[in-house]
Amino acid sequence: MAEPAIVIIGAGPAGVRAAATLAKAGRRVVLIDENMRVGGQIYRQPPPGAERAADKLYGFEAAKAVSIHRALDGLAIDYRPETLVWNARGTVLDLTGPRGAERLAFDRLILATGATDRSIPFEGWTLPGVFSLGGAQIALKAQGCAIGRRVVFAGTGPLLPLVAYQYAKAGANVVAVLDTSSFATKLKASPGLLALPKLFAKGVYYLAQLKRRGVPVIEGVEGFAVEGANAPEAISWRRGGETGRIACDAVGAGFGLRSETQLADLLGCGFAFDELTRQWLPMKDADGRASERHIYLAGDGAGIAGADAAELAGERVAWTLLGDLGQAVDAARLVRLDQGLARIARFRRAIEAAYPFPHRFHGAIPDNLIICRCEGVTAGHLRFQVEQREAIEMNRLKAYSRLGMGRCQGRMCASAGAELLSHWREVEPGAVGRLRGQAPVKPVPVAETHPAEAT
Ligand SMILES: Cc1cc2nc3c(=O)[nH]c(=O)nc-3n(C[C@H](O)[C@H](O)[C@H](O)COP(=O)(O)OP(=O)(O)OC[C@H]3O[C@@H](n4cnc5c(N)ncnc54)[C@H](O)[C@@H]3O)c2cc1C
């Protein structure tokens, strides 16, 4: 029988562990990633020639980062960096990369596509100089530069104190951290956070270090706005009837992460609405199989759980896949992996409680605010479609307004669109549906959309 074609998309912790497990079991694997080097988001490597010491780049996570960077050394893996999978259907992928446009057939596919920042539009969010939190971190990690000279970090989630700390440690001038989660909310969640005491301790350490450096961390912020004509000049905020304002020239803002799910969608995988994170996620069984049985899901692309969980899940689905191919599986190893994943899932629920997604912010968005920055669609334009044209569901809202029709294909604006629609209709966000996936999932040159036949 011919060797099945196994493809993994994503060379972050999940994809790398999956690839290594399969290769060690004697399977030939194609590993694709649009990045230049393995590592994914958290263990992102600078471009060749711009390397810095691992402890400088990854702090407490340096050993884990190096372990992921080296995990494929000496293994026979067909690794294709700088290659974007921009379309997928059935058992075929469309790629664009250094080899040009290609069509790649597969028998089994592991999706380990990770996550990106989740945004909530606020006044000034489209100004040059306002970055996503992850974007600000990438500037530091990959290029070794800060986003400005007086930087404010705003939003919520565990990345907020981490990125602020990384900037401060690197010598950047962090003038404030504005967290929409209150101290009381975090305190209430702390028993659950103690499920993983080391991770909890790191969070406390980052906050203590910010305090030691004199960076004001303002918690329980109820809204903020960036002022400036062509670039940020100041950020103002509200909290419990008070207002504050601080001069700055750059802002990094983020409200947690959202899973990258477009490829699972294009491949026809079933989705379910996750009440906890208010996101639609591809469904998977306990072993990591999607509803389309030749597709497997691992890491943040199947629900945000962090890098340690991604490593475990990557190895876990690789074993599932091997078992499905009739290969022997180490049952004791599976039990250990599942136990590790269950422990992290408990911690993860506490993180969501400590840093709740402030969906109520959408209720305060004024009509003139841009929601879909690719197409310049304002909240008022969306509201008109809902109130006057009965756009009661996301795809109808998209058809009427062009929300999500631009370069990002809704990756940045769909969450806000859905929250606004659910707010105006006074229904849960799960009731307004989700945007259907469309290729290309990211922009590609037109010339590359007519690849050769599948190989
Ligand atoms: C910007 C950002 C910064 C983060 N920083 C931290 C941090 O400092 N500390 C921390 O604990 N956690 C951080 N996280 C969360 C952490 O990165 C994840 O929990 C972890 O990396 C998940 O691993 P993964 O393998 O599932 O996905 P990722 O590490 O995200 O890897 C997914 C990979 O898939 C590739 N990919 C996706 N779609 C395609 C496609 N269509 N074609 C080709 N390649 C594709 C991406 O290029 C990426 O390399 C961050 C997340 C983000 C989004």
| pLDDT, position 56 | 82
- Whether 441 lines ligand 1, by a CB cut-off of 6 Å, is yes
Q: Which atom of ligand 1 is nearest to the CA of 95?
A: 42
Q: What is the pLDDT of residues 370-416, one digit of tens each?
A: 999 999 999 999 999 999 999 999 999 999 999 999 989 999 999 99
Q: What is the pLDDT of residue 450?
A: 66
Residue closest by Cα to atom 12 of ligand 1 = 42
Q: Note if the pTM is more than 0.75.
A: yes
Phi, psi of 309 (to 5 degrees): -65, -35
CB-ligand 1 contact for 307 (6 Å cutoff): yes
Structural contact between residues 377 and 220, judged by C-beta atoms closer than 8 angstroms: no
Domains 119-255 and 365-432 share a fold: no
Protein residue whose Cα sits closest to atom 8 of ligand 1: 42
CA–CA separation, 103 and 360 (whole Å):
44
426: alpha, beta or left? (left if phi > 0; alpha if psi -120 to 50) = left
Task: Report pLDDT digits (tens) over 93-142.
Answer: 999 999 999 999 999 999 999 999 999 999 999 999 999 999 999 999 88
What secondary structure, in 3-state letters, does 385-432 show?
HHHHHCCCCHHHHHHHHCCCCCCCCCCCCHHHHHHHHHHHHCCCHHHH
Identify the CATH homologous superfamily for domain 6-116+258-329. Answer: FAD/NAD(P)-binding domain (3.50.50.60)
Where do the domains of the chain lie?
6-116+258-329, 119-255, 365-432
Q: How far is the CA of 281 from the centre of ligand 1 (A)?
A: 16
**C-alpha pair distances (Å), 140 with each of 74, 119, 134, 276:** 30, 20, 10, 31
C-beta of 65 in contact with ligand 1 (< 6 A): no
87 Cβ below 6 A of ligand 1: no
249 close to 232: Cβ distance less than 8 angstroms = yes
Fold of 365-432: Arc Repressor Mutant, subunit A (1.10.10)
Alpha carbon of 202 to ligand 1 centroid (Å): 20
* Mean local confidence (pLDDT), 53-79: 93
3-state secondary structure of 20: helix
Ligand 1 pocket test: which of 72, 110, 113, 412 has the largest number of ligand atoms within 8 Å of its C-beta? 113
Ligand 1 center from residue 257 Cα (angstroms): 10
Ligand 1 atom with minimal separation from the 83 CA: 43
Please tell me the residue having the least CA distance from ligand 1 atom 51. Answer: 41
**Cα-to-centroid distance, 286 and ligand 1 (Å):** 22
pLDDT tens string 300-345: 999 999 999 999 999 999 999 999 999 999 999 999 999 999 999 9
**What CATH topology corresponds to 119-255?**
FAD/NAD(P)-binding domain (3.50.50)
Cα 35 to averaged position of ligand 1 atoms, centre (Å): 10
